[in-house]
Structure 1
């Protein structure tokens, strides 16, 4: 009789960083973020950290020699981004684009994004933030990141949630979140495994 233990060891969860892009006063971002985190709570293949740009104070002027105050702000976020296996950017659409706070964060980092997958949860008016997402795909390609195809987008987002932050018709959004996270998990695992064999850029 074969007594070999056939149980497979489950892989360690991927570490996912949620980047909350909006820093606007009165923003809707916390509602979207809380909803998405509730979807993540049902999964065992990710651990989660949050980078909320409303909690950072980064000036828009870039410098190769940042001041001590700027270095202190970067110390709050750069190690978190570096430790990620994957990212989800939660972004509104402002005037057919994404917030300046997000571009500022992106431009202050480079190797942190490389050879990692990025997914998007967007919200806005009639477009659901998808115009912002399409621009972000080009930017992340320049940074050697891989953006996953599927997104979660909320068209006329304010009308989709009740006063308690609950989605009024959750099934379609829940399904979209599952597909996004499944793809993100596949790419995150594939890229992480590949980098153990050959470091990116070698």
Structure 2
């Protein structure tokens, strides 16, 4: 796949105390550094962004909007809570509109027996409404206590690495194609 540089925003969706998201995020960003070093990665941790506290026009709101706008593609790292995704993620998405448009979105999910895939299916609907393109390939971890050891390392790293590469390769194609299209002609809806 192309080694052309683009900016990937990794959105960490969980804000719960004791969350597992940092373990998954650390693994994913480490994998990107090792296997896809041409990517510029911006980790947008919603626990630090605090979407419910953002007020339109504030410096924090503008900074968040700029980070989303500057991204060529997104990977959302999300748990599954009660067959869905976290409420702070929905709020963070809903704060913006044009910044998401005509950009690809991929997912790394975790939780329970479904590995977070029910949350991903709902997120596909949300991003479609925002005119973003979701990619088919995903990375999911069922029963997170199984794949990861106590030090946050994968017991069998090969299958998730293959899934991550497939996801990142699809994102690269869409990110570059859509960036070129947005440059040639502004996206309109």
User: TM-score, normalised on structure 2?
Assistant: 0.93
Out of 147, 152, 171, the residue aligned to residue 158 of structure 2 is: 171
1:104 to 91, 103, 108: 91
2:51 aligned with 1:58: yes
Structure 1 spans left out of the alignment, 5+ residues: 1-9
Name the Cα RMSD after superposition.
Answer: 1.8
Kindly report structure 1 stretches of 4+ aligned residues shifted beyond 4 Å: none
Match in the other structure for 2:175: 188
Aligned to 1:35: 27
Instruction: Give me the whole-angstrom Cα distance separating, in 1, the residues matched to 2:158 and 2:75.
Output: 20
Q: Give the CA deviation at 1:78.
A: 1.2
In the TM superposition, residue 11 of structure 1 has moved relative to its aligned partner by 6.8
Q: State the alpha-carbon separation in 2 of the partners of residues 169 and 44 from structure 1.
A: 22
1:128 maps to which residue?
A: 115
Give the number of equivalent residue pairs: 187
TM-score (normalised: structure 1): 0.87
Please give the alpha-carbon distance, in whole angstroms, between the structure 2 residues aligned to 1:13 and 1:67: 31
Where does 1:72-87 land on structure 2 (aligned, <5 Å)? 72-87=59-74
Question: Larger radius of gyration, structure 1 or 2?
Answer: 1
- The runs of 5 or more residues in structure 2 that have no matched partner are none
**Is contact 2:115-2:143 (8 Å) kept?**
yes
3-state secondary structure, aligned to 1:13: coil
Give me the whole-angstrom Cα distance separating, in 2, the residues matched to 1:136 and 1:142.
Answer: 10
- 8 Å CA contact 2:110, 2:116 repeated in 1: yes
Give secondary structure in 1 for the equivalent of 2:16. Answer: coil
> How far apart, CA to CA, are the structure 2 residues paired with 1:183 and 1:130?
18
